[in-house]
Chain A
Amino acid sequence: MVLEVQLTTDLAIILLGATVLGFLAKQTGQPTIVAYIIAGVILGPAVLGIVGVTELTDALSELGLAFLLFLLGIKMQLEDVRHILVPIIKISIPQMAAVALAGMGISVVLGFTLLESVLIGLAVMYSSTAVVVKMLNDKDEATSLHGKIDVGVLLVQDIVVVILLAVLAAGRPDDIAEIATTLAIVLVLAALVTVAAIGASQYVLPHVFRRIADNTEVFFLIALSWAFLFVFISDEINLFLAPFGIEAYLSIEMGAFLAGLAIAQLPYSKELRDRVNPLTDLFVMIFFVTVALTLERNELLFYWQEALLAAAVLMPVKFVIFFSLINWQRFSLETTFLGSINMIQISEFGIIVGVAAQQGGFIGTEVLGFLTLLALVTMGVSVYFIEFNHRLFERVEPVLSRWAVDGEFQESKKTYRDHAVVIGLDEVSNTALPILTDRYEDVLVVDRTVDHIEQLEAAGYDTLYGDVQNTTIRKDAAIKAADFVLSSSVQTEINKAVLREAADDATVFVEARRIDDARELYDEGANSVLMGPHLAAVRLERYLEMYFEDRTKFQHLIEGDKEMIELKVDHSTAIVEGDLDE
């Protein structure tokens, strides 16, 4: 009965617990993921036992993973990824085989049965998408070269885990042929969904999103709708295949990633990141807290010594395997090191594989507890390695340098420096564009209107679609490195943010409506604050006096203004027609 609907306390407790530990972590300089995992351990059956997994938390944590991958997809430019596809395959397949063997060996040494050891091996070969992608996002390294390698490897692992889960769900496989069929079907499906996503990004999405890009709310909801479409299809693909007598699954993570990838190819995708990010943060937090919620204390701690030992051995082993493989693909030493150190943990998929294996009757709950503890410990520890990966690299670089190769993959992204940034195209900033083009090699215009962006691009300007209120956009516009910034926004807070971000020696022009705002902006370091309405008011006052005192002079003045306005209109049309640069 609907009458019974109350907000469940579990979610509230999870939120509060995560908040308290999150604050503690922040104050002591620890990464938040560790705080969330510990919150889960404390709140869950292992310690206090006040929270269990509910339908709601379960759905939200699944959503967390899906959104995390969607967000990641939104950040990926196809042409940036294409050239590293082959190396990624060459790295990921041997890596999984090697780690699985290592995991198996350790398990046998630790006294697990052979079957248990094989399954443990299969469970530990993945690195954690949640940890790595979340950390890459937080550190803003998702689109760096090592970030892309890691993400690529994680996606290949994703495909493998989906296949493995399908096999485990079917019970003990009869023969190799069955596994091969499942593998083939999953690969074909993944390829089909990829083609659909990329095809849509070429032919369908540009038209759809062109229309809605100016309405932030609709844009956001349609993007979510698009993401859910892929999530749904990936998850329910069985429904579509059942009539053909085929059984197969795809992961919702992969669907979400591809949905994001399709949107990423559009010029309007940047702003979406800042919209999806908060939802992702919230749901991923729930994901990390709920990881530890399934197990009782004695199950979790039954093999605690073995788990700690395995963690201590597996993390360095994983690092060495990744390092040799990425190095073998001739990436630079730094990329190799960072790409490897990020991937040393055991994945949440390890737990999921464990659950499937336990349900399939391959292993007992205690082994599942071992896997869970192993994953929790390695995730927690690896977060510190990722957090401080650059500093670590500086320390170990001399030792590693003998493995250095000539880096084959160089990033060729355009980076702005000493350029001019114009925020918002309007009558005022429009006047400045030709003058700035004469002076600066790069003039970048940031605007939130699709029409403006198209006009400017036609006229040959560099453009960035998005709202400067978003940090991502400010970063992409490289306001920090700009020599000149003109903001035609009259929102003082935006202008203040721009002023704070701009370098001390940069020249910054802003607009304001009120005198008090103008003063504040000068205090923040503005070089000039334009106040159009005040200017107009003062001029009009002067004209009024002139009108009654000296009509000829008045006529003369207004003729000048009139010409200016007409010139302005011609000039604006010039931008549309794209002949400004001539």
Chain B
Amino acid sequence: MSELLTTISLMFIITGPFLLIGNRFDLPTVPFLIIAGIVAGFVIDENLALELARYGIALLVFMFGIRIDLTNARPILRDSEVAAIGQILVVGGLGIGVGILFGIPLAEAVYLGIAVAFSSTIVGTALLQTEIRQELVRGRLAETIHFIQDLVAIVILLVLGAETLTADPIATQLGYGVVLFALAFLLDRYLLDVVGRLADDSDELMIIGIISLLVLFVAAATLAGVSIVVGAFAAGLAIRYNPVEHPGLFNGLVSIRDFFLAIFFVTVGALVVVPFVELGVAASVEKLLLVVGLVILTAVIKPVVTTAILIKSGYEARTSTLTSLSSDQISEFALIIAIEALLLEMLTQNVFDAIILAAAVTMITSSLTQQYNERIYRAVSSWITFEGTHAKIDERSSVPERPTEHVIIVGYGRKGQLLVDACENSDLPYVVIDNDPARLDSISSACDAYVFGDAMEMYTWDKANVEAATLVVSTVNSTPVSNRLLSFDFEADLILHTDDAAEGVTFFERGALYVSVSDVLAGEELAQQLRRLFDDGLSPEQLREERIAELNTYVAVVKDRDSGIVDVSQ
């Protein structure tokens, strides 16, 4: 067996127990890969695996590029780009400042700034899966912030390729990078179609073909002297496709990426010179202090800054805080930048180690803050009253005269819209509560009365004059919100939503007038249809025609509202 294969074997063997521990406590995978790497560093020669690790980087960036959907990205980008860029500048600046305080030269301190400024897409979005699935504002917001940060990170890698920081090589580098990207845009999926046609439905050839294209772009980047990351990203852009078009290809690429990426993170860990063990006491203390500094910046200062910026750009306090708590870790892109800089000898071992260690620590703490985010928010908001938030709610709400005997509708998704229509048809007074800035325009144009605030906050309810309301209908499928509404103990009747029948029963018991459990309704409908098929002799084809007719009637009813592609899950 070759030496390299022995190295890879050891890497994976050592990783196993660490992953089990991480999984046992529901913590993210990446920090445990890094920690396993630190341990593995004692027994393996990580330089052997460096080349494979770089394939891991290339595949990571490539897959990031693949998923960029330029047609959909535009409208979401506007929301949070200010916040993302502001956060990068402020937190990055602080990082550089701390570096200089530690006596690190500016050229290296920049990397500290980079490290603390970016948050991890892998860790952050993995933690936010539920929020993203429920299409909550903060899920989308965090996703966008991560996305913009990743883009900026790629630009930095592009610049980093120029080994000396004089203006001229950077210009050339950028030139080559731009050429690669231009090529990617010109090709615009053309290559994917060609590969698809040639591979003729064979997943094996499709995967090998796509990996070949990636390697071609990486080779072009290497020839031009720019970072392989730039090549890989351009390759991703050139091929970008919707994963569902070729599920076999996508699953295959994910497997291959996960394999190489694991090698990358373990290698990064193995590169660390471990304090106290491989290093004298004085140097170790110095390194650890730097780590502590980075951790505080990332896990404490960064969320504070992000929250402040988000509140400033119009999000209310809770959404802002919860979003910030999902980006309080160091990014895998920062790791890539660090390793590239180390290889280019633009970064000393000490600073590199500090960044890696701080990354591992913050990725773990981040999942903890995510777990306790509501409590952290409660605690913080009891100390500080978020200034100006009430003014903001007042400014963006419109409740003409204090309504009485009205219906309060929480959430202006499809369900909310249907209810608003029903109220308007029957001339019932109503107030809509929502806090998604993306919906503000449609709410303000379609609704007579609305409060633009968080349903978790009492002020929002005062504003909606809940004391005089007859009925409160929440269309939001979120347990914290439902619990909060039940705990307010309003005079008005309360209608709630949930996906979980058991939860529905408890809501009934705790005093909800009605709980809408869509899955139970759908289940009942299904049972009816099955009985008609099996017992009443309805043919499957008859059922199909009947169902299509029903759908058409339903569409005709809601047609005037919009095109019918809006999700009703909220």
Question: Which residue numbers of A lie inside 8 Å of B, CB to CB?
Answer: 2-3, 5-9, 11-12, 15-16, 18-19, 22-23, 26-27, 32, 55-56, 58-59, 62-63, 138, 208, 211-212, 215, 217-218, 220-222, 224-229, 231-232, 235-236, 252, 274-279, 281-282, 285, 426-432, 435-436, 438-439, 469-471, 486, 491-493, 497, 507, 509, 511, 513-516, 518-519, 522, 526-541, 543-545, 547-549, 558, 561-562, 564-566, 568-569, 572
Distance, CA A497 to CA B58, complexed state (A): 31
- In the A-B complex, the 5 residue pairs with the closest CB atoms: A278-B252, A225-B16, A532-B522, A431-B523, A427-B519
Instruction: Please determine whether A519 and B551 come into contact, CB atoms closer than 8 angstroms.
Output: yes
Instruction: Please determine whether B255 and A278 come into contact, CB atoms closer than 8 angstroms.
Output: yes
Instruction: Please determine whether B215 and A222 come into contact, CB atoms closer than 8 angstroms.
Output: no
Residues of chain A within 8 A of B228, CB atoms compared: 7
Instruction: Please determine whether A518 and B551 come into contact, CB atoms closer than 8 angstroms.
Output: yes
B467 within 8 A of A: no
Closest residue of chain A to B524, judged by CB? A564
Instruction: Please determine whether A509 and B526 come into contact, CB atoms closer than 8 angstroms.
Output: yes
Instruction: Please determine whether A515 and B551 come into contact, CB atoms closer than 8 angstroms.
Output: yes
Instruction: Please determine whether A541 and B203 come into contact, CB atoms closer than 8 angstroms.
Output: no
Contact of A548 among B218, B415, B426 (CB under 8 A): B426
Residues of chain A within 8 A of B428, CB atoms compared: 548
Distance, CA A18 to CA B8, complexed state (A): 25
Closest residue of chain A to B530, judged by CB? A435
Instruction: Please determine whether A218 and B29 come into contact, CB atoms closer than 8 angstroms.
Output: yes
Distance, CA A226 to CA B342, complexed state (A): 32
Instruction: Please determine whether A435 and B23 come into contact, CB atoms closer than 8 angstroms.
Output: no
Distance, CA A15 to CA B215, complexed state (A): 8
Instruction: Please determine whether A507 and B540 come into contact, CB atoms closer than 8 angstroms.
Output: yes
Instruction: Please determine whether B415 and A537 come into contact, CB atoms closer than 8 angstroms.
Output: yes
Instruction: Please determine whether B23 and A497 come into contact, CB atoms closer than 8 angstroms.
Output: no
Distance, CA A211 to CA B19, complexed state (A): 12
Instruction: Please determine whether B215 and A16 come into contact, CB atoms closer than 8 angstroms.
Output: yes
CB distance from A90 to the nearest CB of B (A): 32
Contact of A537 among B218, B253, B414 (CB under 8 A): B414
Distance, CA A282 to CA B51, complexed state (A): 17
Instruction: Please determine whether A536 and B523 come into contact, CB atoms closer than 8 angstroms.
Output: no
Instruction: Please determine whether A537 and B418 come into contact, CB atoms closer than 8 angstroms.
Output: yes
Closest residue of chain B to A547, judged by CB? B471
B508 within 8 A of A: yes
Instruction: Please determine whether A32 and B205 come into contact, CB atoms closer than 8 angstroms.
Output: yes
Distance, CA A471 to CA B3, complexed state (A): 36
Most chain A CB within a 10 A radius of its CB, from B20, B52, B259, B502: B259
Residues of chain B within 8 A of A55, CB atoms compared: 2-4, 48
Known A535-B518, A539-B516, A544-B471; 4 more pairs at CB < 8 Å? A7-B51, A232-B13, A279-B255, A541-B419
Question: Which residue numbers of B lie inside 8 Å of A, CB to CB?
Answer: 1-6, 8-10, 12-13, 15-16, 19-20, 22-24, 29, 47-48, 50-52, 54-55, 58, 198-200, 202-205, 207-209, 211-212, 215-216, 218-219, 222, 228, 244, 247-248, 251-253, 255-256, 258-259, 262, 342-345, 407, 414-415, 418-419, 421-423, 425-426, 428, 471, 473, 475, 493, 495, 497, 499-502, 504-505, 508, 513-527, 529-531, 533-534, 540-541, 543-544, 547-548, 551, 554-555, 564-569
Distance, CA A492 to CA B519, complexed state (A): 18
CB distance from B285 to the nearest CB of A (A): 27
CB distance from B570 to the nearest CB of A (A): 9
Instruction: Please determine whether A514 and B564 come into contact, CB atoms closer than 8 angstroms.
Output: yes
CB distance from A282 to the nearest CB of B (A): 6
Closest residue of chain B to A278, judged by CB? B252
Residues of chain A within 8 A of B202, CB atoms compared: 26, 32
Closest residue of chain B to A566, judged by CB? B505
Residues of chain A within 8 A of B516, CB atoms compared: 536, 539-540
Residues of chain B within 8 A of A538, CB atoms compared: 418, 554
**14 A-B contacts (beta carbon < 8 Å):** A3-B345, A15-B211, A62-B5, A231-B1, A278-B252, A522-B551, A527-B541, A528-B529, A529-B547, A533-B569, A536-B517, A561-B520, A562-B508, A565-B520
CB distance from B376 to the nearest CB of A (A): 25
CB distance from A530 to the nearest CB of B (A): 5
Instruction: Please determine whether B564 and A516 come into contact, CB atoms closer than 8 angstroms.
Output: yes
Instruction: Please determine whether B565 and A565 come into contact, CB atoms closer than 8 angstroms.
Output: no
Distance, CA A491 to CA B255, complexed state (A): 21
Instruction: Please determine whether A16 and B216 come into contact, CB atoms closer than 8 angstroms.
Output: yes
CB distance from A165 to the nearest CB of B (A): 13
Contact of B256 among A231, A236, A282 (CB under 8 A): A282
CB distance from A81 to the nearest CB of B (A): 26
Residues of chain A within 8 A of B218, CB atoms compared: 7, 12
Instruction: Please determine whether A522 and B547 come into contact, CB atoms closer than 8 angstroms.
Output: yes
Closest residue of chain A to B563, judged by CB? A516
Instruction: Please determine whether B415 and A533 come into contact, CB atoms closer than 8 angstroms.
Output: yes
Residues of chain A within 8 A of B1, CB atoms compared: 62, 231, 235-236, 252
Instruction: Please determine whether B527 and A535 come into contact, CB atoms closer than 8 angstroms.
Output: no
CB distance from A120 to the nearest CB of B (A): 26
Residues of chain B within 8 A of A438, CB atoms compared: 534
Distance, CA A15 to CA B58, complexed state (A): 15
Instruction: Please determine whether A540 and B473 come into contact, CB atoms closer than 8 angstroms.
Output: yes
Residues of chain A within 8 A of B9, CB atoms compared: 228-229, 231-232, 235
Residues of chain A within 8 A of B255, CB atoms compared: 220, 275-279
Instruction: Please determine whether B208 and A19 come into contact, CB atoms closer than 8 angstroms.
Output: yes
Residues of chain A within 8 A of B525, CB atoms compared: 530, 535
Instruction: Please determine whether B215 and A11 come into contact, CB atoms closer than 8 angstroms.
Output: yes
Distance, CA A466 to CA B207, complexed state (A): 22
Contact of B513 among A469, A558, A565 (CB under 8 A): A558
Residues of chain B within 8 A of A221, CB atoms compared: 12, 15-16, 19, 29, 258, 262
Distance, CA A430 to CA B530, complexed state (A): 13
Distance, CA A541 to CA B568, complexed state (A): 13
CB distance from B8 to the nearest CB of A (A): 7
Distance, CA A275 to CA B519, complexed state (A): 32
Residues of chain B within 8 A of A539, CB atoms compared: 516, 521
Contact of A277 among B48, B215, B216, B252 (CB under 8 A): B252
CB distance from A271 to the nearest CB of B (A): 10
Most chain B CB within a 10 A radius of its CB, from A220, A224, A226: A224
Instruction: Please determine whether B208 and A12 come into contact, CB atoms closer than 8 angstroms.
Output: no
CB distance from A541 to the nearest CB of B (A): 5
Contact of B13 among A228, A285, A493 (CB under 8 A): A228
Residues of chain B within 8 A of A541, CB atoms compared: 418-419, 421-422
Most chain A CB within a 10 A radius of its CB, from B1, B544, B555: B1
Contact of A536 among B5, B203, B415 (CB under 8 A): B415
Instruction: Please determine whether A470 and B198 come into contact, CB atoms closer than 8 angstroms.
Output: no
Instruction: Please determine whether B212 and A278 come into contact, CB atoms closer than 8 angstroms.
Output: no
Instruction: Please determine whether B19 and A540 come into contact, CB atoms closer than 8 angstroms.
Output: no
Distance, CA A222 to CA B247, complexed state (A): 23
CB distance from A106 to the nearest CB of B (A): 33
